[in-house]
Structure 1
Amino acid sequence: MNNFSTKIAAAAAAAIALFAFTPAEAQASVSTTTKLGIIGNYSDAEMAGLHNAGGAADVLVEMNWFQAEPTQGQYDEAYLDGIAARITRLRSLGYTITFNAGVHEAPDWLLALPGARYVDQNGDTYTDSKEPNLIFGTQYRTLATRYLKKVFTKVGRNFSVVRTGGGHWGELTYPFKLDPATGKLRNLYFAFDVNARKATPTPGWKPGMSSTKGQAAKFLKWYLNSLAAYQNWQIASLRSAGYQGTTAVLYPSYGMRAGDFDRAVATNLAGTSSPEINGEVQRGYDATRQIAALKDPKVVVYGTWAENADTISYLSGLAAAKGLRTMAETSHVCLPSQLPAVMAIARRNNLAALYIVRLAPSDIIGNARYLSAAAG
């Protein structure tokens, strides 16, 4: 093995070791240095600067299923070669790679199949984005696994982390829609496609109807459990496709908290309870349930709102109780001026890694000292 290959192998091993966390270590809150990761489209020169001057160690590489497999069973080899080349180039700059295969960006040929899209209680099909309905359309899961096998064969499996979530923005979520008149989230539950209607424990019942036989509670428990089960399938799919390393499940927003289930059920899921008004319930943001349901030990709990101290503390506590590490990324609205506070949050919660999303390189480099101080 040449020197370059040896360095890459050593860096990969170090990254894997970083994200491994035994239950004893989790419970003891052993302090480790938070690694800095980068998310965004930057030039090679900018990436070199972020690594050399800013201390960035890891970078996210993303791709989309619809671009890789535009026709069923036929792959765009040039596109896949381009992804592989980018990974090689970033490694040559000193980075380890976090990877997202983009299963949540499905090709049109899949979305056109019966039951491959989500449907709400009003009978309206969700078409705002390209996430496939693999929660209830289980007959299509083999297509996703086949795609992942192709991807890993082409770009390799040597990643620090592979991200999963399966919903909008790659997060673990059901779809959502905004009311164009008010800008607020609509009260929509996306579990009424042909497959979901066969599986529901409350046939004929819809959110907002009276619940004389406990239908609201039965429906919501099934709805949330279905999303929790989907996260475990996604991880298992990565394993069967050949990736055996660390997987990060992306948990969005503030999330449901104690009592929110009962509050939503008390109003028959009519959309008038406080957690429904915020959209936490309809989108399935029940991290407590989901993290408790995790089966694979090589998982990192990943928050997508790093600047929210309460959310990161909450997720970190759930992860530690499960013997898992936590990572986070800043939201797309995070300001450079918030980075010192974000770094402090990372330190308090002993994050394995913190990813800065699409800020100017100069802003990241200018605030990298806060990460060093936080880690020290």
Structure 2
Amino acid sequence: MTTLLRLLPVAIVVALLVSAALPTGRAQAAAGPAWGLVASTCTASSLAANRAVGITVVEVEAYWDRYMPARAGAVDTAYVADLRARITRCLDAGLRVVLGPGMQYPPAWVRSLPGAALVDQRGKRPTNGAIDTVFSAAVRAAQADYLKRLVTDLPAKRIEAVRVGTSTEGEIGYPGPNEAGDGFLQSWWAFSPAAQQGTGLAAGTARSPMPGWIPGQKAWQGKAVTAAAARSWFLWYSRALTSAVKGQHDALRAAGFTGQVHLPSPGKGVLPADLTTAANALLNGTGDRDGSLGRGLNYTDQFAVLAGSTSKMVIDLSGVDDASAVLARRQSPAQDACRSSDPSTSVAAGTPVHLWSNLRFARAQATRAGLPAIGENPGPPAAQTGGTSYSDSLAEQVRRAPGYARSCGLSALLVAFEWALDDPGSGVTRDDYRRAVLG
């Protein structure tokens, strides 16, 4: 949903923080969820309206291309001053602030850095504007410098969290299905010189364990490729994303930021049974139920890796009452709401997790890893947020999302978007949200 924020004249994202007293696991839900909105303008009128219905924490979205538009080392001082003023206004109004750095909007000079282009197995580049934030040392260094400047230029000691991510939506993941732009559905975005040969490879990231091997090929260097080898290749591919996320986390820590780090995480991720099917087919596209395989979303592994290598990491699950929830609650029995047994049953053979909602399965993986979680709904189905013909309307999302947040033990729920709740045509208002929260 972050892509849509580019359409706003002033891009401020509202979020709710996990309490520092509830850092991990199920304990985070002891006090119940906190409630918030996405894309607040942080004006005096919006602050008053949001606080009137119990909104106490906001996330302010920055834009890298506006912050450092010309070249490395140079900032737009007017933009920085405006961003700092908006953050300070929120803080002085008694609101806590989470910062979205907007690294999904790289300046043109970053796009021209060595190795900045993402490349799939056919030499194609993504049409959605994604750059290589995973393997390119030059891009990762530019990101680290930008994050350092944010911490230095803004009132970072008063900011409670910063978002990180690798995709054009500001979430974890490689580009999705058909983002090579020519109808080819199964792209693997790890075929740059850095990823394959280690040329210009980011520190802490491994190069391909099978250089030159293309998923689906039955042989490599004259030998048959086994299912175990294909699985190992995918593990490398998906863990490269965690290396990139950890790199952003470490850059923030090196700059002196001590608050929480939020990781927006879309969809359900790869299911264990589907990964087995995919590996047995040597990653030829079989078993990629929803594009998670090519996007590298291996939450059953990635969340555990991040839990062991980062501090104050919070998973932001962006599928609260998405289309998968609509389908899941049509099952008999319904499969949408989280259950206390989910962390163990979600990885047990025979559990029909393919019928679960995205939120339910991904939440179980965060719990298994001991990571706290917040969540957000998709927003209006027609507003470029991945809606389908059977998606709930925004009004229905607002009505149902608080229940999902409670059943899944989320520390906070973010409702998208403030501008939609201000739109008389949306069919939902802040008061509707308040009533849904109160039950």
Shorter-normalised TM-score: what interval?
0.7 to 0.9
Q: Pick from 330, 355, 369 the counterpart of residue 377 of structure 2.
A: 330
Q: Pick from 223, 237, 242 the counterpart of residue 256 of structure 2.
A: 242
The match for 1:90 is 90
SS at match of 2:413: strand
Q: Pick from 421, 428, 435 the counterpart of residue 360 of structure 1.
A: 421
Output the CA distance in 2 between the equivalents of 1:120 and 1:101.
27
Q: Which has the higher helix share?
A: 1
Output the CA distance in 1 between the equivalents of 2:139 and 2:298.
25
Q: Where do 5+ consecutive residues of structure 1 fail to align? A: 1-14
TM-score by length of 2: 0.74
User: Do the aligned partners of residues 288 and 209 (structure 1) sit closer, same or farther apart at CA in structure 2, a change above 3 Å counting?
Assistant: same
The match for 1:281 is 293
User: Do the aligned partners of residues 251 and 278 (structure 1) sit closer, same or farther apart at CA in structure 2, a change above 3 Å counting?
Assistant: same
The match for 1:35 is 34
| CA deviations over 1:174-201 (Å, ceiling 9, x no partner) | 013537999x772100000110111211
The match for 2:52 is 53
Aligned pairs for 1:200-279 within 5 A: 200-211=208-219, 212-214=224-226, 215-271=229-285, 273-274=286-287, 276-279=288-291
Q: Pick from 354, 365, 380 the counterpart of residue 318 of structure 1.
A: 365
User: What is the identity, as a one-letter code, of the residue corresponding to 1:18?
Assistant: S
Output the CA distance in 1 between the equivalents of 2:239 and 2:125.
22
User: Do the aligned partners of residues 67 and 247 (structure 1) sit closer, same or farther apart at CA in structure 2, a change above 3 Å counting?
Assistant: same
Moved more, 186-195 or 254-263: 254-263
User: What is the identity, as a one-letter code, of the residue corresponding to 1:364?
Assistant: R
Shift of 1:53: 2.7
Shift of 1:149: 1.3
Which structure ranks higher in relative contact order (CA pairs < 8 Å, sequence separation ≥ 6)? 1
Shift of 1:36: 1.4
| Alignment of 1:116 onto 2:111 | no
The match for 1:164 is 164
Shift of 1:112: 1.0
The match for 2:132 is 133
User: What is the identity, as a one-letter code, of the residue corresponding to 1:87?
Assistant: I
| Alignment of 1:369 onto 2:435 | yes
Shift of 1:17: 7.1
Output the CA distance in 2 between the equivalents of 1:257 and 1:218.
16
Output the CA distance in 2 between the equivalents of 1:180 and 1:323.
36
User: What is the identity, as a one-letter code, of the residue corresponding to 1:143?
Assistant: A
| CA deviations over 1:95-124 (Å, ceiling 9, x no partner) | 211111122221111211221121000011
CA contact (8 A) 1:229 1:293 kept: no
CA contact (8 A) 1:301 1:315 kept: no
Output the CA distance in 2 between the equivalents of 1:147 and 1:82.
17
Q: Pick from 336, 342, 358 the counterpart of residue 401 of structure 2.
A: 342
Shift of 1:314: 2.7
CA contact (8 A) 2:127 2:179 kept: no
User: What is the identity, as a one-letter code, of the residue corresponding to 1:353?
Assistant: A
| CA deviations over 1:314-363 (Å, ceiling 9, x no partner) | 33333333333210111133612222211001111221111111131462
Shift of 1:139: 4.0
User: Do the aligned partners of residues 112 and 219 (structure 1) sit closer, same or farther apart at CA in structure 2, a change above 3 Å counting?
Assistant: same
| CA deviations over 1:138-166 (Å, ceiling 9, x no partner) | 24322211111111211121223211112
Output the CA distance in 2 between the equivalents of 1:100 and 1:48.
18
SS at match of 2:294: coil
Across the aligned residues of Structure 1 and Structure 2, the Cα RMSD in angstroms comes to 2.4
| Alignment of 1:173 onto 2:173 | yes
Q: Pick from 299, 303, 309 the counterpart of residue 291 of structure 1.
A: 303
Aligned residues: 353
CA contact (8 A) 1:47 1:93 kept: no
Output the CA distance in 1 between the equivalents of 2:235 and 2:116.
22
SS at match of 1:261: helix
CA contact (8 A) 2:151 2:252 kept: no
User: What is the identity, as a one-letter code, of the residue corresponding to 2:110?
Assistant: L
| Alignment of 1:190 onto 2:205 | no
| Alignment of 1:154 onto 2:153 | yes
Shift of 1:91: 2.7
**% identical aligned pairs:** 26
CA contact (8 A) 2:119 2:191 kept: yes
User: Do the aligned partners of residues 260 and 340 (structure 1) sit closer, same or farther apart at CA in structure 2, a change above 3 Å counting?
Assistant: same
Q: Where do 5+ consecutive residues of structure 2 fail to align? A: 1-15, 198-206, 326-335, 337-356, 382-392, 423-427
